[in-house]
Amino acid sequence: MPKRCDWARTELSIAYHDSEWGMPVHDDRKLFEFLVLEGAQAGLSWEIILKKREGYRAAFDGFDPAKVARYGDRQRQQLLLDAGIVRNRLKIDAAIQNARSLLAVREEFGSFDRYVWRFVNGVPRKRKRGQAVPVYTLESDAMSKDLRTRGFKFVGSTICYAFMQAVGMVNDHNHTCFRLMRLQRPRHCALSQWPSELIPSPMVASLEPFNSSARAAIWIRVSIPAGPPLRIMC
């Protein structure tokens, strides 16, 4: 059985830990989902939120911020009666307001993803071995402060740090957890020796370990029908 972070003990939390927590997220709708869920968790356990996650998806139009931003009094009242979510007026109002603020951020920066990842300079943070898991950091402080100036609600530094953990801005898996190293592997591939427009769907022939002074990587050796073998760094 693989070694996991201590908090992953139930069926729901294990599935979430193994497939999502700490995985870098760059999709605006997914980022909005975690912004809503982390705000909803305030004062509650994450297990409760995981159990209500599907209820949130249904209640908030699949976390489409453009739709949520248009919610009015009728939708608010429906949400307050929806047992599938946390029926807290302040948290519901915050979700709606955050959708509107997110759209404003998207208008300014091109995407919420581009805006929010600036707080870690686009690179996931990682704890040093033996360092305790913090509840907030200088980065989450800065993120919280800036979000508040833009009208976001339920975005204190602790909530922001939990959000950063969830969407992979921080890799907080324990050093004994099997997910730590998997998430540290580069997930984007760069082609070399061949113009991208000339590359058909290649057949992967072999995996070649490769180390450089900058980082460890994997070179995938592929065969191109119309030319010499190509290597892809992943």
Catalytic residue, chosen from 16, 21, 115, 161, is 16
Q: Which of 102, 100, 122, 98 is nearest to 110 (CA)?
A: 102
- Distance CA(80)–CA(88), nearest Å, equals 7
- Distance CA(121)–CA(162), nearest Å, equals 18
Number of Cβ within 10 Å of residue 192's Cβ equals: 9
Instruction: Please say whether the beta carbons of 36 and 56 come within 8 A.
Output: yes
Catalytic residue, chosen from 38, 115, 117, 139, is 38
Radius of gyration of the chain (CA): 21
139 carries an active-site annotation: no
Catalytic residue, chosen from 46, 47, 136, 219, is 46
Angle at the Cα of 116 (from 180 to 70), degrees rounded to 5?
Answer: 120
38 carries an active-site annotation: yes
Hey, which residues are catalytic here? 16, 38, 46
